[in-house]
Amino acid sequence: MARAALFDVDGTLADTNHLHVVTWWEAFRQAGQQVATHDIHRAIGLGSTDLIAHLLGDERDRTRDEEISAAHRTLYGTYFDRLPALDGARDLLHALDRRGWRIVLATSAGGGELRALRRAIDADEVIAGVASADDVSEGKPAPDPVHHALDIAECGPDEAVFVGDTVWDMRAARRAGVRGVALLSGGIPRHDLEAAGASAVYATPTDLLHHLDSAFFTKTE
């Protein structure tokens, strides 16, 4: 029976959340919007359009959304050649692959950003596929990215685990009927992740790797 380990990328496999916070903060500032970095941090994991809507509200001037999003892409793009993988990320993916799990990424990143993240993780040989922002009409916390990742893995939700670092990841997993495992490496508090549906919480990819024999990855029932 196929088993799928679905992974978010930013904050889960790559140490990039705070780079996103700083570059979104600057993009908003350039557009004349003062948004607290704390609020931006809590919104990381949403797609660009949803993040802007979440932070600026429905009464914003929507004609400036693309300007803000483009500014963020440009600012964040200056880091593409040096995005850092989280310690243990590559080893975790390889360990799961050796155990027979199909590895699929489910991320709001796409295009050049996704290519840069995959270079940072350096585990393409064990990644079966990617459900990216380019592939779905609605991003997390909608279940669409998780559903698409399941299609790529060719398995059902009962045979999958989704690993992420934000409440949006956990909500998407729950809505797709997939067990959610959360990591604290993205900076979101344990309580918030559990409240969003996380079945288990680990500190980092290395921590999860060290607990695979006691985690959900030992069973699929």
Round to whole Å and give the CA distance between 90 and 4: 16
Nearest Cα residue to 188 out of 74, 180, 106: 180
Instruction: Say which CATH topology domain 4-15+85-218 has.
Output: Rossmann fold (3.40.50)
The residues facing 44 across adjacent strands are: 46
In this prediction, residue 220 carries a pLDDT of 45
pTM higher than 0.75: yes
Domain ranges of the chain: 4-15+85-218, 17-78
In this prediction, residue 68 carries a pLDDT of 98
In this prediction, residue 219 carries a pLDDT of 54
Q: How far is CA 216 from CA 91, 143, 163, 181, in A?
A: 17, 20, 11, 8
In this prediction, residue 120 carries a pLDDT of 98
Low-confidence ranges of the chain (pLDDT < 50): 220-221
- CATH architecture label of 17-78: Orthogonal Bundle (1.10)
* Residue partners of 132: CB distance under 8 A and separation at least 6: 105, 107, 108, 109, 110, 114
